[in-house]
């Protein structure tokens, strides 16, 4: 009988503790924020038609992996023209050099021929670079997030065809009310929680805004709506556990649930 009473008391204490914890959690939800990412957008230098896609959304790529190709007819024609100009400049230089050795030519003619040869060589290098850049390669390792143009579609210059998300470019953005800003500092450790996340995710603050702003509409808090807040950004230690746009709660050492 006594043991039964003691067990009942223990259960009661546990339930009370759970209720208090739940109440504390509701009173202290942490700083509300969301996940964003700094994408790497891969664009062609010149307009053209996409002729080949080497990747699909969700693929992981390494540095130098082929991504896509854009038609290169104009670039090949430009390279052919540059090579022809280089051949003519080389002949003119050879004649000027031969005449200069025999004393029949002038130094001015030799200098002009040499300058024209150097310009022609530079134009060939430029044409080769333009041609090579019609086949785009991954500038960084990461995951293909989105493909904006498919094979057969025409893309303008500087318009991204593919976006890549490097793992280290995931970030958590959250806002801190002005009275609590002195508690925050760059390098501070934080904990990030979210629905469905495998436990708490550690992070570190790397940016604190110097300009105040009003609470953004994505944070649904009536009590904070009229207050000034400061944007803070943190890098999570396990970026693969988060998704872009995902709402999260952020806790610091001074704001622990």
CATH classification at residue 248: 2.40.30.170
Beta bridge partners, 191, equal 202, 251
Among the three residues 110, 133, 156, which one is the final residue of a domain in this structure?
A: 133
pLDDT tens-digit profile of 55-77?
A: 999 999 999 999 999 999 999 99
58 occurs within a structural domain: no
Confidence of residue 144 (pLDDT cuts 50, 70, 90): very high
141 occurs within a structural domain: no
84 occurs within a structural domain: yes
What's the structural domain count of the chain?
2
78 occurs within a structural domain: yes
1 occurs within a structural domain: no
Phi and psi at 36, nearest 5°, equal -130, 175
Comparing C-alpha atoms, which of 18, 17, 30, 12 is closest to residue 203?
30
Q: Mark whether 198 and 129 lie in a shared domain.
A: no
Identify the H or E element spanning 16. helix 2-27
pLDDT tens-digit profile of 86-143?
A: 999 999 999 999 998 888 878 899 999 999 999 999 999 999 999 999 999 999 999 9
Domain that holds residue 209: 28-38+166-252
Local structure of 83: helix, strand or coil: helix
Q: What pTM does this model have?
A: 0.69
* pLDDT at site 18: 41
18 occurs within a structural domain: no
């Amino acid at each position: 009988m006594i043991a039964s009473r003691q067990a009942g008391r223990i259960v009661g204490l546990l339930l009370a503790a759970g209720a208090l914890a739940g109440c504390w959690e509701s009173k202290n939800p942490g700083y509300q924020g969301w996940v964003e990412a700094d994408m790497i957008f891969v664009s062609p230098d010149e307009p053209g038609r996409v002729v080949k896609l080497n990747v699909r959304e969700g693929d992981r790529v390494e540095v130098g992996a082929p991504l896509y190709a854009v038609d290169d007819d104009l670039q090949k024609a430009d390279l052919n023209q540059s090579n022809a100009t280089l051949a003519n400049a080389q002949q003119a230089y050879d004649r000027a050099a031969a005449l200069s050795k025999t004393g029949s030519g002038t130094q001015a003619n030799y200098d002009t021929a040499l300058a024209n040869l150097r310009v022609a060589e530079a134009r060939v290098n430029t044409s080769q670079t333009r041609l090579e850049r019609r086949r785009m390669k991954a500038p960084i390792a990461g995951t293909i997030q989105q493909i904006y143009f498919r094979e057969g579609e025409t893309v303008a210059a500087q318009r991204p065809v593919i976006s890549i998300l490097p793992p280290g470019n995931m970030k958590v953005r959250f806002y801190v009310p002005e009275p609590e800003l002195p508690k925050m500092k760059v390098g501070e450790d934080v904990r990030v929680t979210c629905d469905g996340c495998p436990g708490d995710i550690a992070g570190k603050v790397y940016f604190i805004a110097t300009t105040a702003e009003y609470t953004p509409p994505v944070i649904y808090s009536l009590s904070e709506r009229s207050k000034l807040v400061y944007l803070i950004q943190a890098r999570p230690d396990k970026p693969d556990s988060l998704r872009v746009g995902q709402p999260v709660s952020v806790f610091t050492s001074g704001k622990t649930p």
